[in-house]
Amino acid sequence: MIDPIAFEIGPLQLHWYGIIIASAVLISALLGARVATWLGENPEDGWSMLLLVVITGVIGARIYHVIHLWDFYSANPLVIPQIWNGGIGIPGALAGGV
């Protein structure tokens, strides 16, 4: 089985999951810029929206996860913002990013 932690830099652990998601976001942004240019649009508009889309995607992913484990999070509400302890959902990220 592959170790979920790709590598560590001091106390920071980089997981394969995060590397794959970050790579997908970057590749999507690059492809979106090419398509925008091909369609005669300004690719800078997409790059300007990227930060907002990533932030709302992360928030949506966390909300999705919290809803699906509501029994746990309703009993432990202080844990809800602790995204670094794991717990995001791709469907929520897609909904939040769109």
**Tell me: the pLDDT tens digits for 85-97?**
878 888 999 899 8
**Of 17 and 86, the one with more pLDDT:** 17
The widest CA-to-CA distance across the chain, in whole angstroms, is: 52
Q: pLDDT at residue 68 above 80?
A: yes
Domain extent for 39: 5-97
Q: Which residue from 68, 97, 86, 90 is spatially nearest to 15, judged by alpha carbons?
A: 86
* pLDDT on residue 33: 95
Give pLDDT tens digits for 37-47.
999 999 999 89
Other CB atoms closer than 10 Å to residue 72's CB: what's the count?
12
Give how many domains the chain has, as a whole number: 1
Q: pLDDT at residue 10 above 90?
A: yes
Residue 55 in tokens: 């932030």
Distance CA 42, CA 10 (A): 41
* pLDDT on residue 90: 87
Residue 31 in tokens: 């492809």
